[in-house]
Amino acid sequence: MANEIAIHVDHLSKLYKLYDRPSDRLKESLGLTRKKCYREHYALTDVSFDIGKGETVGIIGTNGAGKSTILKIITGVLNPTSGEAVVDGRISALLELGAGFNMEYTGIENVYLNGTMMGFSEEEIDARLESILSFADIGEFAYQPVKMYSSGMFVRLAFAVAINIDPEILIVDEALSVGDVFFQAKCYRKFEEFKQQGRTILFVSHDLGSITKYCDRAILLNQGRKIFEGSPKEAVDIYKKVLVHQYDPDEEGGVIAQEISGDWKDSVVTNPNLIEYGEKAAEITDYAVLDENGLITNTLMKGTEFSVKMKVEFHEEIKEPIYAFTIKNLQGIEITGTNTMYEKADVQGKKAGESQEITFTQTLNLQGGEYLISLGCTGYRNGEFTVYHRLYDVCSLTVISDRNTVGYYDMNSRVTLS
């Protein structure tokens, strides 16, 4: 590898075997069957690129594009199925919140734990401790077990450790989206400082504005394949075409979104650990998120119109059902939501054996980031509030933005200077 290359990715592929049942995996591992018991899923397919020393490069793409997989291979967390990733320089990586931290240890104990894992002596960590705690700015919580931390405090400390151990290559996977806007600004100032020092930065972000502003180049992945590498502006422009289904998927052999047909939820990335409850006199049997073109997707562009759709089957007669959906952030805070009662919709009662399709359509003003959608069907029986069926955190929603403001949603302010 040439001296000026920090990261060399050569024809990288990653194959996962997907088993329908744990017993199928066991049978295959014990050689009890010659039949193939799995389906093949390529998270990455023949991806190649080089990142020069001193470059800042962003990787963008929808959920499932392979962004996190490629970072994990570069950092040695995962092994590739084929191809290779060669790194020249000391890496500091911030991939997953809490990775490398012991939840029972205090913040300071975790600083020493991480520093030791990176090859530093206790004396070397001592010399960096003040800088780490100053950047993290978590006060007395540094002396408390990290299991007590909020996600924001967690990422503050983790990022402070990552940037203060003199890395030649810094790799960050979307973790900064957890911190508040002021901490994010502080981190991006550190990115600028790193660039001036000639260090290499590779990061994944859904904040397209940051990709355009801070990156020298951008790599666009779609369904495990690299479909573009070049200027950040060009990459973002092509990405926007992917999001609104104007990019020709036949060029890369994939389908970007699904039209409504059959069971909608089969085309949605559903949470396998969703929480559901209710007496099920009425039951939510199908659901989907639709973009402005009526295509099912879990990834939407900020500022566009979208719909949340669900189907409810009635097992008993219900005179005044109430249909609802909410959107929460990953910390479990309800950001927004509505129901047919708030919206004063003309909802009719249903008899046993009947069904109802409900569609909520609105403009997406949430900031770029990751969210969770919950669905519900409730009502009043004999004056008592009754939950017929609720699906908590049933599916994910990724919002892509090229301009984020402060807080959870955008007020779409107009600025006038005179």
276, with CB counted inside 10 A (0-12, 13-18, 19+), is: middle
CB atoms under 10 Å from CB of 416, counted, come to 4
pLDDT (0 to 100) of residue 73: 95
Cα-based distances in Å from 238 to 137, 370, 404: 38, 21, 20
Closest among 259, 257, 260, 327 to 298, alpha carbons compared:
257
**At 20, is the secondary structure helix, strand, or coil?**
coil
Domains and CATH numbers, the chain: 5-243 (3.40.50.300), 264-400 (2.70.50.60)
pLDDT (0 to 100) of residue 187: 82
pLDDT (0 to 100) of residue 407: 83
| Cα distance between residue 206 and residue 397, in whole Å | 12
| Cα distance between residue 122 and residue 108, in whole Å | 12
* SS (HEC) of 304-370: CEEEEEEEEEECCCECCCEEEEEEEECCCCEEEEEECCCCCCCCCCECCCCEEEEEEEEECCECCEE
pLDDT (0 to 100) of residue 250: 57
pLDDT (0 to 100) of residue 252: 43
pLDDT digits (tens, 9 = 90+) for 5-61: 999 999 999 998 877 777 767 777 766 667 777 778 899 999 999 999 999 999 999
Cβ contacts of 277 within 8 Å, gap of 6 or more: 387, 389, 390
Residues of the chain with pLDDT under 70: 1-3, 24, 30-33, 96-99, 175-181, 244-246, 248-262
pLDDT (0 to 100) of residue 81: 95
| Cα distance between residue 10 and residue 226, in whole Å | 12
